[in-house]
Structure formats: C-alpha cells, structure tokens
Amino acid sequence: MSEKLIIQGGNPLQGKVKIPGAKNSALPLLASTLLTDKPVKLTNVPELKDVQTMLSMVRKLGKDITTNSNSLQITGPVTSNKAPVDLVRKMRASFLVLAPLVGRTGEAIVPLPGGCNIGTRPVDLHLEGLKKLGVKIKHEDGRIFAKTDGIIGNDVFLNYPSVGATEQLIMAAVVARGTTTIYNGAQEPEIRDLVSFLTSLGADINMNGSIIKVTGVNELGKTTYGVLPDRIAAGTYMIAGTATNGNVEVTDVDTSSLKPLSLKLKKAGITVKEVDNTIKVKRDQRPDNLEIITLPFPGFPTDLQAPITALLTLAKGKSVVKETVFDSRFGHVPELSKMGADISVTNSSTVFINGKKTLRGTEVEATDIRAGAALVIGGLAAKGETVVSGLGHLDRGYSKLVENLRTLGADVERVK
C-alpha cells in the first residue's frame, strides 16, 4: 500500500532547518571514489534513497563501505567493470560510474539510464566527450560497451553545459595521460564540489568559469571530505516559508549558491537576510509576480522551477516561468490546477500563471522529486486538506522532510 502525506494547510512555517549535504554532489562524489583504491571518508552525506542506490552500485563494483550516520568510509579496489542494470535503470546518476570504470580498468559495461519523467535525457554529450579522450564506445541492446588502451588528454567542447557530461569528463580526465581542457563546462556548485574533492585526492584541476583544465595523474590518494550543502533543499524550504506567510531560517548553507533564488524572492517583496551560512526568509506581504527563466548555473536552477511555480500561483498578478533546461518538466502543473491554481503551460515550455489569493486542498500526485516538492508547498499554503501521493519521488531528494516541516509548525503526517 503506498504511503501518502496528509497536510492540513494554512500554518505559517516558522523556525530553523539545518540543511543536509547535497544529493547532486554526493552522487558524483560517490561515483568518483572508484578512481582511487585508497580510503576515502565522506562526511555530511544526506540520508536519501538515491544515495542508497549509489552505495549499492559502488559496493557491487568492489568497494568496501562502512556507514556511520552521515559519514561513510569507502575503500578497496574496483573488482568489476559491469554496472548492474537494475541500479542504472533506477537512477540516471548511476551512469556516472562509466568514466571512473573505464578510466581505472580500461573497460566498462554500463546500461543506458532509464527514462525519467522530466523529458528525454540523452547521454550523447557524455559519450562524444569520452570518445574525444580515446575511449571506444559501442552501443548494444541498451548497454554501453566502453574500452580504452588509456585515456588521452584532449580539448573537448560541450555543445551544452551538461552537469552529468561535465562530471563524466572530469572523472575521465583526472586519470588521463596529458592535459584535458573542457570548454563550455557546467558551473553548478556541485561541479566545483567534485573538483575540490578530486583535488583533495591529488588530482590537478583548474576550474575557471566554464573552462576546466585537468592534467592527468598516475594515481589518486586518500582523503576526508565534507559534501557541500544542498542548495535545492534549502531553496525548497525558503519557498515553503514564503508560500505560507512564514519566517524560516535555513542553516549550514552556502549562500552564494542560492543567490539566484534569494534575489528573485527579494524582487517579489520578500525579506531575505544572509548572515554567514544562514539565510532568513520572512514574508511581510503577498509576493509580487515574477518572470522566471531556468538556465544552467549561475542562472535560475531548473530544480527550483516547480517549487517557485507553486509559490507564484499565490502571488499578485501574472507570472511567467520558462523552463529551458529540460523539455518537459511540468508534471506539477495539472496537479496545481486541481488545487485551484490558474495556471497553464504552452508547447514552448512556458508556464503562465494568474496569481490567486488561495489554493484549496485536494488529492494530488507527485511525478518527480521537485514536482512533489511543489505539491507539498501548495498543500502547506492551501485551505483545507491536501493528500500527496507518489512519495517515492520525494524520498529520493528530500531527507527528513516531514520531520523538518513539523518542526517548522506544519500540520503534516505520513500515513500508509
């Protein structure tokens, strides 16, 4: 029997939330531990289903992992270069083991990632880039067969600053012979976190905006490293506080990684105060309407598109949200309409919203991690009871969500 969230809307969220490590950093970091046999200690690792999936993947490939709450000890050599199909199907990010595997063992067999409900998500940029670095790629019955006599440094231009492709190429380049320069690389904070993690292992990487220069090294060492805070989780709580007329403080965050959201909330008339590694969000008035365009970092993050769309259904006036990163990331739109939002999406990936004073609680279904977050935000702000199903999605990206929301004063419970 699937579980559901029952939310009685209308309580303003007030108080503090400690933000955990970033899912979208922990996953590539875990994949990159395959590049060294030496002991790696990772701290500030978030408790998420996706992290569990990646741990199973890395264990299956030979690593010995011991966990102690939010810390992991990972050590040992790679003993297999075949990634299990079920795990790659379950989570796209497990495709990131391709580069470390082929880089370390000269061979890798990795299934193509499963489709995701936020549009088609090819891996052509990953594969074209690896070919430029001397990896032979064969694609047979849904699996990638990669082979190399040794990764060779080269210049690689990415047609699009893909986060995954950039991570894949950095991991291949750190063990290459010679120097690789990636042009038009992604600049998300999670990329910088991967670069500093690999540097702490002894890699030679220089990241200058979208140009990432890597000089290969023969082997990598050991390290103890803390995963950077999850800017998307932090942004989600900031938006939830705003939507519920509340006063929320997120702590242990990297304020610079949240600039795009902080500036947009200020523009909507919300008080946003950054003090060291905390951000305080206080709503003094109904938010003004906004125009949002999602872009690669430092643009507005696509992962906060659904959450801020939920907020804008309650803003004053007309708002427009254009999603440019994924080709169909609107699973939350029909569900928000069910709650009474005046919202529609055109075929050019643009959402038009006429803000209303209230939403009304009803039954809604999460279709992906961030669409789920949007529906929770809608339910927290709505009048009446909202029942959210599809919690498997939320569990992939948000740890301790119900616990944190209840601490902030929300009336929410998780039932079978």
Annotated active-site positions, please?
A: 116
Residue 165 lies near ligand EPZ (rule: CB under 6 A): yes
3-state helix, strand, coil split of the chain in percent (to 5) is 35, 30, 35
Interface mask toward ligand EPZ for 318-337; x: CB under 6 A = -------xx-----------
Q: How far is the CB of 415 from ligand EPZ (least distance, A)?
A: 25
Residue number with CB closer to ligand EPZ (64 or 124): 124
Q: How far is the CB of 303 from ligand EPZ (least distance, A)?
A: 5
Q: Is position 27 an interface residue for ligand EPZ (rule: CB under 6 A)?
A: yes
Q: Which of 323, 321, 316, 260 is nearest to 289 (CA)?
A: 316
Query: What stretch of H or E contains 138?
Result: strand 136-140
Q: Is 125 a residue that touches ligand EPZ (CB under 6 A)?
A: yes
Cβ closest to ligand EPZ, residue 37 vs residue 188? 188
Query: Cβ(304)–Cβ(234) under 8 Å?
Result: no
Maximum pairwise Cα distance, the chain: 63
- What amino acid occupies position 95? F
- Displacement of CA 106 from its chain's centroid (Å): 29
130 binds ligand EPZ (CB under 6 A): no
Q: Name the closest residue to ligand EPZ (Cβ).
A: 164
Of 19, 370, 377, 378, the one binding ligand EPZ by CB under 6 A: 370
Q: Which of 163, 171, 364, 405 is close enough to bind ligand EPZ by CB under 6 A?
A: 163
Q: Which two tokens stand for residue 3?
A: 């579980």
For residue 384, the minimal CB distance to ligand EPZ (Å) is: 28
User: For residue 80, what is the DSSP state?
Assistant: -
Label residue 218 exposed, middle or buried (CB < 10 Å: 0-12, 13-18, 19+). exposed
Please report how close the Cβ of residue 167 comes to ligand EPZ at its closest, in angstroms. Answer: 7
Provide the 10 A C-beta neighbour count for residue 66: 10
Single out the segment in contact with ligand EPZ by CB under 6 A; choices: 72-80, 158-166, 215-223, 337-345.
158-166
For 56, counting Cβ atoms within 10 Å of its Cβ (0-12 exposed, 13-18 middle, 19+ buried), the class is middle
- Sites for ligand EPZ among residues 340-369 (CB under 6 A): 369
**69 and 113 in contact (C-beta within 8 Å)?**
no
Residue 174 as a binder of ligand EPZ (CB under 6 A): the answer is no
Question: Which residues here bind ligand EPZ, judged by CB under 6 A?
Answer: 23-24, 27, 92-93, 121-126, 160, 162-165, 188, 302-303, 325-326, 369-370, 397
